[in-house]
Amino acid sequence: MDTNLTETPIDLQKPELYLNRELSLLEFNKRVLAQANDDKVPLLERLNYLCISCSNLDEFFEVRVASVIQMAAIDPKAVGPDGLTPSEQLELIAVHAHQLVDEQYKVLNEILIPKLAKENIRFIRRKEWTEAQHKWLEAYFNDELLPILTPVGLDSAHPFPRILNKSLNFIIALTGKDAFGRNSGRAILQAPRALPRIIQLPAEEAAGGGANFVFLSSIIHAFVDQLFNGMSVKGCYQFRVTRNSDFFVDDDAIDDLLLAVEGELAMRNYGDEVRLEIDANCPDETVTFLLDRFEMTRDRLFLVDGPVNLNRIQEINDLIGRPDLKFPPFKPAVPQQLERSKDIFAAIRRHDILLHHPFESFSPVVEFIRQATVSSEVLAIKQTLYRTGADSPIVSALIKAARAGKVVTVVIELRARFDEKANIGLAAKLQEAAVHVVYGVVGYKTHAKMCLVLRREGKQLRNYVHLGTGNYHPKTAQIYTDYGLFSCDKELGEDVRRVFAQLTSLGKVTKLNKLLQSPFTLHSGLIEKIEREIRHAKNGKPAKIIIQVNAVVEEQSIQALYRASQAGVEVKLIVRGVCCLKPGVIGVSENIEVRSIIGRFLEHARVYAFENDGNREVYASSADLMNRNMFRRVEVCFPIESKRLQLRILQNLNLYLKDNTQAWLLQSDGSYQRLTKSDTEESVQAQSVLMNDLQ
């Protein structure tokens, strides 16, 4: 423990009690990268983890670093809960991000590429090409690349071109004069995004058998001189620029949210520069030239030994049929009560049904909406859509329902980051089918995961609901862990109906029976439940809190958890990513444990469990403990009231708390230590247990 605070009373707002959000996010990416360095993980999956860590880092710079840079310009003296100014944050981010990038390329070059080579999966460097390979690759360049590559010589008539966000580019050093007598000495070549970044050599050119790959950048380096007839290429160096990709929509100054989002999307590829990656072999003079062009300082420069975009290496997973180097196939289970009943509504009437994805299939959710589409008893379907994926079966079912004459209402969040374009297209597609489409509430993202089906059964109307912690996305449901609840509880159904009414009619907030909803009652409701545990502990009654979320950032929630620890409440936090709370601080948080599970599946569920003097309460939610979820989004937090389902979730949480294989414990200095079992302990891997138990 690095902090010892003994004064009484302790100021729970002291900066020493908070970890920096951005550095915590970098720590998460370190844990992801650690999977790429783990011999127990199948080799191609290790490569996949490396790519994920790089993709995560891209988004980190596009969104998080960009926002810190903006804050440094707008309010350089502003400080967060941790007391760091924007400039101080940027300095620390630069140190940790450079360490992470160095480790990424070390893992690639010194570990994964040699191990893949032993499995006859090779990345062939230019100096290693055989004569036959060189001939094939030259033909590939002439036939597939040369016709679409457009180099731009830099001179007064050809200024430095606009560089797309995260695109692959080359700066080329030239000598000699072109056909018009020009000699600027430099040219820029932009590689179209449609081009593959890795090219597989034909089997007959794969010396020694197996699968041989060549990076696109290597091919361009080898034959780039063919683009400059009569001139000499003295150097060719790849580079990539990351730009601010978060966009701003002024909620007070727009008449049409759709048009506003479309307008901002057009500018996303040309936001302010936040990072520059360049080939490590690039001469310093050229590096300086690029830095000057992009008006960037060296703390945001990354010199890399390999492709500037490691994400695209992920493509080989689809090109190689080596199941022995991947995770074993896994088929999600279907709950018995749904397998036994063809009528999903009848099954829900018998009792609430809980789904735990991906251990249990997402197909019942699709089937729920499909049956609603074809059922003559169904009058209306209402649903929120945040991320759905292309060609979603859920969207197809909603369109069929609307065309069948049912009242279908869909709340689409246009500002789901990096899915904005897809959601605009989705909105148009649904509107063409006469679906009532609304875009939520201006100023608040609609992040709640809800579906309501209204049926006429005899003389009564009954609401059936599905509430989830994750998106209505069949593909991500195969790799994200989430909970989904089916219920026809009258009060719960009425609550969901009222929330939809708020979203579509602009009516005032109405009191809900069972749901907690942000931005109205969710934050205060959770704080009150924490305070109730504090009262129980002070009165000598059973008190315990278990929370599983993606992030813990919001200050008042952290302070409430600190007070709970001080009162003797046992607090267990399972936090996948960012955590700004410091565990293990004497007098403040010694009763708080924070662990992160990094495994085959991405932990995405949000669960809030309270002992409550033996009268346990368990809630699942779409919301993390973050300011945006509590105050700037429409979220729902729904109770799991069935004792049977409560017990199941609590058993799952306790399984995660016993994990000694994929768990990392947060230390009070912000670092994480991976748990290792002792020689006498039995190995526990929570995700594997859940996979096996549900087969």
Could you tell me which residues are beta bridge partners of residue 408? 381
Q: Phi and psi for 42 in degrees, rounded to 5?
A: -55, 145
Whether 370 and 404 have beta carbons less than 8 Å apart is answered as no
Q: List the catalytic residue out of 221, 356, 357, 447.
A: 447
Tokens encoding 477:
């449901």
Q: What DSSP letter does each residue of 146-187 carry, written as one string?
A: GGG--EEE-BTTBPPPPPPTT--EEEEEEES--TTS---SEE
In the 8-state DSSP scheme, what is residue 335? -
Quick one: DSSP state of residue 213? E
CA–CA gap between residue 359 and residue 531 (Å, rounded): 34
What is the Cα–Cα distance from 592 to 611, expressed in whole angstroms?
Answer: 15
* Rounded Cα distance, 435 and 227, in Å: 52
Q: What is d(CA 257, CA 439) in angstroms, rounded to the nearest whole number?
A: 8
Q: Which residue has the tokens 């820029």?
A: 188
Count CA atoms closer than 13 A to 252's CA, side-chain side. Answer: 0
Q: Confirm if 154 and 188 have CB atoms less than 8 A apart.
A: yes
DSSP of 394-436: HHHHHHHHHHTT-EEEEEE-TTSTT-HHHHHHHHHHHHHTT-E
**546: CB partners within 8 A, 6+ apart:** 572, 573, 574, 607, 609, 650, 653, 657
Token pair for 527: 């704080």
44: nearest Cα among 102, 123, 113 = 113
HEC per residue, 572-585: EEEECCCECECCCC
Alpha carbon distance 21, 67 (integer Å): 12
Strand 460-468 relative to strand 592-597, pairing: unpaired
For 193-208, the three-class secondary structure string (H helix, E strand, C coil) is CCCCCEEECCHHHCCC
Q: Is the peptide bond before 9 cis (omega within 30 degrees of 0)?
A: yes
Which positions ≥6 away from 552 have C-beta within 8 Å? 558, 573, 575, 578, 579, 580, 581, 594, 624, 625, 626
Tokens of 433: 């089918």
Residue 444, φ and ψ in degrees, nearest 5: -135, 125
Q: Is 65 exposed, middle or buried (0-12, 13-18, 19+ CB in 10 A)?
A: buried
Dihedral (Cα; 470, 475, 480, 482), 10-degree rounding: 40
- What angle do the packed helices 21-36 and 86-106 form, to 10 degrees? 0
**389-394 CB contacts, 8 Å cutoff, 24+ apart:** 389/473, 389/474, 389/475, 389/476, 390/422, 392/472, 392/473, 392/474, 393/366, 393/474, 394/365, 394/366, 394/369, 394/472, 394/474
> Which stretches of 506-642 are DSSP H helices?
522-538, 555-566, 627-631
| Residues 632 and 445 sit within 8 Å (Cβ to Cβ) | yes
**Cα 2 to Cα 583, 586, 670, distances in angstroms:** 10, 9, 10
Q: Which of 60, 91, 2, 157 is nearest to 666 (CA)?
A: 2
Whether residue 447 lies in the annotated active site:
yes
Task: Show which residues are catalytic.
Answer: 447
